[in-house]
Structure 1
């Protein structure tokens, strides 16, 4: 019988839902602000739904694949202290 202790350790070290919400906000808000600042004038003439689509196509992958994992690692480092 083999137990998977790494999964147990990972779930035990997971941040609270409130901390995850803050981490997500820290990734999403500045990214949205930067993308809107860069693309806002270029996309201002487009319909709202198309502007939102363009914004989310850029922001979601950056936040999900780059920023949130980095912030989660930083959170884990701080929690270990």
Structure 2
């Protein structure tokens, strides 16, 4: 849905159980990395409207703030941030 609207993954952060939402159901979301999906940071790129999301894309970062910074620094129309 997001890729179709032109959002591209620019970074991802591995799941951390310490930050799971209250009541997170690991069994319900088991399909997604055993209920521990990555946090994916995306940026809008008008050139990618109608695009497809490829699971696993986006470079891993070690910190949430770095992921946010990469999304904010993304330059539409390029693959560079």
Instruction: Verify same fold: TM over 0.5.
Output: no
More strand by share: 2
More helix by share: 1
* Larger gyration radius, structure 1 or structure 2: 1
TM normalised by structure 1 equals: 0.28
